[in-house]
Structure 1
Amino acid sequence: MGHDIALLKPGSQKQLYGNLSDFELTAIEPPLWAALLAAYLRQKGFSVALLDAEAEGWTREQAAAALAEAAPRLAVLVASGTNPSASTMNMLGAGELMARVKELAPGTATMLLGLHPSALPERTLLEEKTDFVCQGEGFHTLPALLAALAAGGEIPEIPGLWRLGADGRPLAGPRPPVFADLGALPRPAWDLLPMGRYRAHNWHCFDDIARRQPYAVIYTSLGCPFRCSFCCISALFGRPGIRYRPIADVVAEIDWLVANHGVRNIKILDEMFALDEQRVVALCRAIAERGHDLNIWAYARVNTVTWPMLEAMKRAGVNWLAYGFETASRRVLAANAKGYDLGQVDAVVAMTRQAGIHICANFIFGLPEDDYDSLQETLARMQDINAEWANIYSVMAYPGSRLHATAVERGWPLPETWDGYSQYSPRCRPLPTDSLTGGQVLAFRDYAFEAYYRNPRYLDMIRRTFGLPTVRHIQRMAEKPLARLHAEPYAGCAGPQGPTP
């Protein structure tokens, strides 16, 4: 036996991002959750291997061989990305990968862990080629399972552990509590990963588009207290809520990343970073005092960001904030529990720009109440804001979200394969709305993307802000067509059609 446990992040860039992966637009992000678990288990005395198939560019065959070579007692595939949308689509090929591991190392126990397995633990156990499924974070489940495997014999009931009984029926341990004291967690095991292979999002480095590496991610909190209908993040934690990491630990990790890997580009992974003004200001002042040359981006919320936050963030090196504007329709916004007033948007946009921080604007087309008029309203608002970057999404009912539960209850069509949950995959299949098909929503989303990134007003702003090399980069990006199997050219609104395929 080589290691007690090997944790692997799968990767399917080409299938998930289509032609965009050829242009290297997408980020390759270090796997926080796998690195956190690896560090925690290592601290407890277990022998740990940590592998990243995406960063290494491995095929499934190569990934399975690497897991087998690690010779672990337990091989864990961690299907969690660094945002809520990244887990389900990373289930692509999980069964085939696990099956191949079983062929290469038949004595190795296997597990699937992550946000998607936590949202659909029973289905994951029954459909995928795995011995175990972990529901929840894993901090309570993995040490207990490793101890049981080492002891041999019958596996006892373990919090968060799903497995098949002798009769072939699923057996589930009770839902474990979240790990309350983040200060007791060690620094993620970045030392076990190929840190030189990670790269930032293209827009994160618009000021120097050729300088996307080195790149790192950090967390300062876990969880989110809000209940947006389309978000699935709470499936991993069991319920909405937020826990904070000690400020000293965050600063020490940044120091380590800078000293050991020359990191400048950093993403703060927190689902809601700009929430508590006192904490944000204190943390950012502590980072600024270190004097590092950093280029950071983080998530913010229209109704929680303040001027003292923005001033402190800019001094710390936060050059980008991602806002979830989502829609320009008051009716659609209210129905999806975003909890802010559209009237706040202009003031927040102006305040952010006054602080010298660029905006990544997130918009979603195809929420259940959307119709053609509200889609057009959102596109017009998006162009009016004219953010330096816009993430333009179509609505996906990610497992673990209230929207997914509603879709299942009402029989709305969902993607037939897990890669269909990827925004850029050929199999992408958004939900229908009350008056539009999913294919019409997808076609409008792609139209909006082209309209935004080819807009002369936008390109002129980019030229003035970042220079001509960045303009040319965006123009090359906009020339990349996306293959779509489910897009339907929109021929006008013919009235309510219901949730048809």
Structure 2
Amino acid sequence: MRRLKGIIRKEKPLVIGISANTGSYLNGLKIVKKIKDIDKDIITVMGGTHPTIMTKEVLEEDGIDFLVLGEGEKTTLDLMDSIKNNKSIDEVNGIAYREKEKNENKIKINESSEYIKDLDKLPFPDRTLFPLSFYEYPASILMSRGGCSYGCDFCAVNNIWEGERRFRSPNDVAEEVKHLIRTLKTREIGFVDDIFTLNKEYTRNLLKSLDRIKTPFKWTCATRVDLVDKPLLQKMHKSGCSGIEFGVETGSQRVLDSINKDITVNRVKEVVKIANEIGFNTLCSFMFPLPEDDRESIRETVGFMKELKGMGANLIMSFTTPYPGTFLYENADDIGINILGSSWDEFDAKHLLIDTKYLSEKELKEMFKKITREVGLKK
């Protein structure tokens, strides 16, 4: 916070923007309070997943002047133009704010903004504005944005992004890779899209563009086991992909089906075997617990994790987090789970936040410790 005070005194900003997901939201509020303590006339704007989904709740907090909802690039520019030139904010799509009506604050949510159709028009992020030494993976690239054709119960993406997935052109992505290699002096790139191979034709075209980059580099990604096959994995590896994360979630087919994951445990084994034989560093991610978990499904998951580890896969297990906007959050009572967290700070996949119809909070904590020891997971 001391650094924030120094920046404000030096830059004398008219507006300060803050991005907040659910886990960082309360810290965002602390920043807002500090800004207003330093200079109450500074206009504060908050965006991100949490304000987009919990709009009215967020605007009930003191100090936040505007929210940018959903995709923020164009909306933020329009809002800045209105603030700087004293234009009416009624015409700025994609924002929410408080407006006084008859001496009473009313929450106003403007019409949604149109999504940016041509993502190539966006400039590359100016990473020099960030303290990159604080970031574990500074050379990260997002090649697409938008909704998802899958409907996993634990995911809120379709409540944040509406419509079909929009992709940057393969050439634009390749240009950003070259830009990062040149400016960050890096040879390691991380694609941070949830499903790298969502569109196989696009993926194959992207690989061709990456192959034309003269400087050798390695890259990593995440995807689903039902959206890769041996020929595609071979092409990805040849193009420099060294590591893939697969969302496995559980070793119980019954539980997989219950969360609408739409994959099979047999397919997981097939793909992990192929990927390891090709030479990938494979990471299988699991979630604990899931609403239909009982002692038997947990035993299945532990056995499956051991089997995958024996095949050469790395493993990670995170606590299931019922983020606002997910089916889990919106239907907790109907599916028989209790949301245990008492603070948004705990929504970080590092805290036990749900119990199940079959397992209590105490039982789950004991089981998680046992799984960590038995499978050999790092805490």
Give 1:178 deviation, angstroms: 2.1
Per-residue CA deviation, residues 248-278 of structure 1 (Å, 9 max, x unaligned), is 1111111111112111222101111022222
Distance 1:115 1:271 in 2: 15
Q: Does 1:158 align with 2:111?
A: no
Distance 1:313 1:268 in 2: 13
Q: CA 1:388/1:329 → structure 2, altered by over 3 Å: closer, same or farther?
A: closer
What percent identity do the matched residue pairs reach? 24
Q: CA 1:153/1:246 → structure 2, altered by over 3 Å: closer, same or farther?
A: closer
Distance 1:453 1:264 in 2: 31
Distance 1:262 1:412 in 2: 48
- Show the 5 A alignment for 1:286-297: 286-297=209-220
Q: Does 1:412 align with 2:346?
A: no
Judge conservation of contact 1:76–1:110 (CA < 8 Å) in 2.
yes
Letter of the 1:390 counterpart: L
Per-residue CA deviation, residues 350-385 of structure 1 (Å, 9 max, x unaligned), is 111122111110111211111111112111101110
TM-score by length of 2: 0.91
3, 20, 28: which one pairs with 1:94? 28
Give 1:321 deviation, angstroms: 0.6
Distance 2:324 2:5 in 1: 26
Distance 1:385 1:411 in 2: 29
Distance 1:450 1:282 in 2: 43
- Aligned partner of 2:120 in structure 1 is 183
Give aligned pairs, total. Answer: 372
User: Structure 1 stretches of 5 or more lacking a match?
Assistant: 1-59, 80-86, 201-214, 455-477, 481-501
- Aligned partner of 1:367 in structure 2 is 290
Distance 1:62 1:261 in 2: 24
- Aligned partner of 1:392 in structure 2 is 317
158, 165, 168: which one pairs with 1:234? 158
Greater displacement, 405-414 / 313-322: 405-414
- State the secondary structure of the residue aligned to 2:125: coil
Letter of the 1:71 counterpart: K
Distance 1:232 1:165 in 2: 29
Bigger relative contact order (CA 8 A; separation at least 6) = 1
- Aligned partner of 1:348 in structure 2 is 271
Distance 2:361 2:353 in 1: 5
Q: Does 1:258 align with 2:184?
A: no
- Show the 5 A alignment for 1:260-275: 260-275=183-198
Q: Does 1:276 align with 2:276?
A: no
- Aligned partner of 2:356 in structure 1 is 433
Distance 1:356 1:252 in 2: 27
- Aligned partner of 2:135 in structure 1 is 198
Judge conservation of contact 1:115–1:233 (CA < 8 Å) in 2.
no
Judge conservation of contact 1:225–1:240 (CA < 8 Å) in 2.
no
- State the secondary structure of the residue aligned to 1:76: strand
Q: Does 1:448 align with 2:374?
A: no
Q: Does 1:298 align with 2:239?
A: no
Give 1:128 deviation, angstroms: 5.5
Q: CA 1:175/1:218 → structure 2, altered by over 3 Å: closer, same or farther?
A: same
Give 1:246 deviation, angstroms: 0.7
Distance 1:405 1:195 in 2: 36
Judge conservation of contact 1:371–1:436 (CA < 8 Å) in 2.
yes
Q: CA 1:332/1:67 → structure 2, altered by over 3 Å: closer, same or farther?
A: farther
- Aligned partner of 1:490 in structure 2 is none
TM-score by length of 1: 0.70
User: Structure 2 stretches of 5 or more lacking a match?
Assistant: none
Distance 1:107 1:388 in 2: 54
Letter of the 1:177 counterpart: E
- State the secondary structure of the residue aligned to 1:164: strand
Give 1:113 deviation, angstroms: 0.5
Judge conservation of contact 1:116–1:400 (CA < 8 Å) in 2.
no
Cα RMSD, aligned residues only: 2.2
64, 69, 75: which one pairs with 1:141? 75
75, 78, 81: which one pairs with 2:19? 78
Distance 1:141 1:337 in 2: 34
- State the secondary structure of the residue aligned to 1:303: helix
